[in-house]
Structures are given as structure tokens and as C-alpha cells.
Amino acid sequence: MSTANAAMFPSDFKSVVRRFYELQAERVEAYKLFEEGHEAYLRTGPHYDFEQYRQLVHEITKAFCGISKEVLEIKERLHQDFERPDLSEHLEKLQMKEKQKLELTAKLQLAKQSAQDHPEDQSYQEKVQEIKQDIIKIKESLSEIMQDFKYDSEDAE
């Protein structure tokens, strides 16, 4: 490695890590929009405005795909360019948990609609609560992974 490359290495590493944090912030924002959009959709019941909701799902899916694609590129760079398989592994775990969180969020939205459509049936409310608990567990796992990533990436400085 030339001296010029060695001098660029730390700042480049930092910018890659910083970009990862920006992507996670974008992901949080996308979830917020997804949730707000779903709440608006539920308010259109019982004759739901499915077209508008479908458009929202399409936009959110595009956003999540773009974020995931870039996180996977960062994962590769951390592993290959910076020889940090530990950080790469954190991102691998994070992506798996994010995928589960997104799947659970979609299930939760369906369950909320069912609960709204069948207020007399308590089992729908129970299902909503069950999925919410699963999402809380996933969020806790994500938080732990983020802490590990933060600790290990700062360790490199």
C-alpha cells in the first residue's frame, strides 16, 4: 500500500462507517413513513383506499431495497477493502434482523386491519399484541448489533 493510500485509509474508513449510520437513519425514517401511511390507510376503512396504500408500499419497498443494497456494498467494502470481517459480520446480522423486522411490520399491518374489521373478535387484538412483542425483540437485537458495530468500529480508530 502506498503512503498516499495509507493516509487516505482512516478518513475513507470513517466516511464508510458514517454512510452506514446515515443509511440506518434513512431506514428509521422509512419505517416512520410506512407506519404513518398505514395509519392513514386504516382511517379510510371500512372502504379502504387500497390504491394509495399500494403506492405507499411500492415507494417504501423501493426505499428499503436501495438502503439494503448500499448496506450490502458497505459490508463488502468493510470485509474486502478494510479487512474488517468483524464489522462485515455485524452488518450481515443486521440485514437479517432488518428483513425479519420488515416482514413482521407487514404482518402487523395486516393484523391491525383485521382487528379493526372485526372489533368483536379478541383474537385479532391478541395477534396484534403478539406481533408487537416480536417487533420489540427484533428492535432490541438490532440495538445490540448497532452497539457492537459502534464499539468495534470506534476500536479501529
Nearest-5° angle of CA 11, CA 12, CA 13?
90
Report the candidate in 107, 144, 142, 148 with the shortest Cα–Cα distance to residue 24. 142
List the domains of the chain with CATH numbers.
Answer: 3-155 (1.20.1420)
Residue 157 confidence (pLDDT): 56
Q: What is the pLDDT of residue 44?
A: 94
Give the pLDDT band (50/70/90) at residue 2. very low
Q: What is the pLDDT of residues 38-86, one digit of tens each?
A: 999 999 999 999 999 999 999 999 999 999 999 999 999 999 999 999 9
| Helix residue ranges, H only, 44-121 | 50-80, 85-117
pLDDT value of position 155? 76
Cell numbers at residue 107, please? Answer: 404482518
pLDDT (0 to 100) of residue 5: 42
Nearest-10 crossing angle of helices 50-80, 3-43: 160
pLDDT digits over 7-30, tens only? 444 448 999 999 999 999 999 999
User: What is the distance between the alpha carbons of residues 117 and 46, in angstroms, rounded to a whole number?
Assistant: 7
